Amino acid sequence: MTISSLQKSYKDKELSPRELMQQIKEKIEIHKDNPIWIHVLSEDELEPYLKRLESSDVDSLPLYGVPFAIKDNIDLKDIPTTAACPDYSYVPDKSAYVVEQLINAGAIPVGKTNLDQFATGLVGTRSPYGACQNSINAEYISGGSSSGSAVSVALDMALFSLGTDTAGSGRVPAAFNNLVGVKPSKGILSTSGVVPACRSLDCVSIFAKNSEDASRVLDIAISFDESDPYSRVMPDVKHNVKSPFSFAIVKQEQLKFFEDNEAEELYKKAVKHFEMMGGKALEIDFSPMLEAANLLYYGPWVTERYVALKDMVETKPESFMDVTKTIVLSGKTKSAEDYFNAEYKIKAYKRQADILMKNIDFALTPTTGTIYTIDEVNADPIELNSNLGYYTNFMNLLDFSAYAIPAGFRKNGLPFGVTLFAEAFEDRKLINYGKLFTSKDFNV
């Protein structure tokens, strides 16, 4: 089901939003052993949304009756926000700005989804509510931190969902669940009403099953929010796909697949596929990106996590999972000297990256080099989580836009994904190239 096909069903009187929500409730019940949801809206909580739609025309609302899931570090009015920490829970009196935009457009919130606690992790296992299972193979991780948001869409409990993406949380779960994932340019989607991870880097992300739906939701979600000091205006520019085009790929010696040979072959296949679409692959030195990535968790930006949670981590440390607490407290000792030294490095890396990206349309990387089982991550949570961020951690530090797309399957049925990235505000261009890629037969 797509947004267009759903709304056609509404127009043809084949389905109503009320009937669809009942079907979704049944699917949620089927998968109740997978901790996808922290809070599913009750019938009473859903009623105001359904009543509004029943008194509206399908054509009057661009997202009429479209069910969506909300990561539980993003506020929904009158529904608890926990950030996967029960002691942190509060009930907001208004929805996050981006949630308001979507509801105003007719979308129906299904509920709040599970996540790595305080959006700290790329695995989906760091939650007291349970480790979210991969939608294809329950032994494997869902990816995080936006774990439940991705799995809910993959299992047809929502047509799209909201996540957040500071280090890769809107891209890694997309790759692991065969979805598209929009990591927008910083600031074009408001973060008002979002529990901060790294406030200066946080982005609200979008999961969907296809580029058409992702693009449609993005266009509605983009809105300048004057109450958000990090909000930026999206320039009104056209982003047409051209042919021929050029795209950057990672130097062979800088590629890492962590012994996942099938992932390596699928990346090569994706490169070939873009070439057959009219692209010219240009191998570039990814050193500036990789050096920047190391600064996200080992540099002073981790102090933003400590600042956001200082009162609670100092007074109620027992409320945190051990791995979350370790990461948050690691930000306590960073100094102003550390920050400025890192800031100077980031400016240099950004300049180098911009030079490398000049005259190319986008860069193409694996979204992740591999995937792990839940047991593997539990046995080695820090290093394996770090491996998953190899191609993602630099993105917001260097102010890139990014789009994760499916790119085939391993022999065991688990999906592989690639990510297109470019300068800030080139989001629609990336989606257009991604749409062209996924619309073609991948067996080249």
Catalytic residues: 71, 145, 169
Burial 301-322 (b: 16+ CB within 10 A, else e): bbbbbbebbeebbeeeeebbbe
Cα separation, 340 vs 342, in Å, equals 5
Give the alpha-carbon dihedral of 122, 125, 130, 134, to 10 degrees.
Answer: 80
Question: How far is it, in rounded angstroms, from Cα 114 to Cα 426?
Answer: 30
Residue 374: closest CA among 39, 112, 37, 144: 144
Q: Quick check: 217 and 180 in contact, CB under 8 A?
A: no
Q: Cβ of 262: how many Cβ atoms within 10 Å?
A: 16
The SS3 call for residue 231 is coil
- Identify the three-state secondary structure at position 105: coil
Q: How far is C-alpha 305 from the geometric centre of its chain's CA atoms?
A: 18
Residues 322, 306: Cα–Cα separation, whole Å: 14
DSSP 263-323: HHHHHHHHHHHHHHTTEEEEEE--HHHHHHHHHHHHSTTHHHHHHHHHHHHHH-GGGS-HH
Neighbour tally for 280: CB within 10 Å: 12
- The three-state secondary structure class of 415 is strand
Dist. CA 113–CA 143, nearest whole Å: 13
Q: Are 7 and 53 in contact (CB under 8 A)?
A: no
**Contact predicate 409/338, CB 8 Å:** no
